[in-house]
Amino acid sequence: MKIALIAHDKKKEALITFAEEYKDTFKLHDLYATGTTGKRLMEETGLKVHRFKSGPLGGDQEIGSMVANGNIDIIIFFRDPLTAQPHEPDVSALLRLSDVYDVPLATNEGTASAVMHYLNQLDRE
């Protein structure tokens, strides 16, 4: 599967910890991430990640384009709901596209864990 990994600045550490926890599963799939998140994931977990631009510079839109073209299967997006984001319209568009194209979207660790549990079940079949 093709999995997009995104995290706002205050959530990057949590996503890296999460990726480390599910590293064996992530290794079996194609990973995509916005700029800084992807760089940190590669450096700190050793996972292979295709990087797009930083979210505020169009990375969210690049991932949205992949969603619209049927090239992303899952989005894990650790959002920071307590901090205003300068690129909030891009974030909203990505969330809308995930709904339009029925792409599972986890915006917090609890939901992401449930998605990963499901993915692990699929991988065993």
Q: Residue ranges for the binding site for substrate? A: 8, 12, 34-37, 54-55, 87
Pairing of strands 50-51, 105-106: unpaired
Active-site annotation holds for 73: no
Q: Which of 9, 60, 73, 102 is catalytic?
A: 60
What is the C-alpha separation between 19 and 28, in angstroms, rounded? 13
Residues 6+ apart with CB under 8 A from 78: 6, 7, 8, 11, 12, 14, 15, 18, 107, 108, 109, 112
Is the distance from CB of 13 to CB of 5 less than 8 angstroms? no
Residues taking part in catalysis: 60
